[in-house]
Amino acid sequence: MNYWTEHVFNTWQWWFNIAALLLPVILWWKLVDKKKLMEIIVYGFMVSAFAIYFDTIGETSVLWEYPYLIIPLDYILIDVDYAIMPVLYMLAYQYFPTWKGYTAANIVLSASYAFLAEPLFVKLGLYEMHGWKFIYSFPIYVVIAILCKWLTLYFIEKQTAMED
């Protein structure tokens, strides 16, 4: 706790993480289709849950770490797992309703996360890798996107069948 208070809290990296947590959510609220709000939120919560799950595995396996956390009692990058990743995936889910468009959009998003965002976070000192490589992240991001869309549509189909 002392280390976090003296070396993390109120640094530019800490403020960067705060902004990266809040700004995507504000943007999402302005862009989200309010008529499909519940469906999109369910999808986003699943993305977040999978992101947290994989982040926890990576962090506890010491494959990577985050030196600048928003709160000292956590070890995941809250802004990525709770905001950046779910928001961008939710927007892809909303704007690309067909599987073909959605898959293409998420391949681009996944490549952007793995080969642009992760290296940027490393360069900024927000993400440290220990034996992990950017290429390993790419298929995980793709699988999260595909699985979450499939599960969301599956649940919608089951609910619709029960209502009929």
What's the pLDDT tens digit per position in 40-80? 999 999 999 999 999 999 999 999 999 999 998 777 889 99
Half-sphere exposure of 108 (CA within 13 A, CB side): 8
- Total number of domains in the chain: 1
- Domain with 57 in it: 2-163
Task: Round to the nearest angstrom and report the end-to-end CA distance of the chain.
Answer: 55
**Separation between Cα atoms, residue 84 and residue 58, nearest integer Å:** 18
**Separation between Cα atoms, residue 62 and residue 56, nearest integer Å:** 10
Question: Residue 84: which pLDDT band, with cuts at 50, 70 and 90?
Answer: very high
Strand partners, 128: 65
Check: CB of residue 51 under 8 Å from CB of residue 84.
no
Q: What is the pTM of this model?
A: 0.93
Q: What is the pLDDT of residue 164?
A: 78
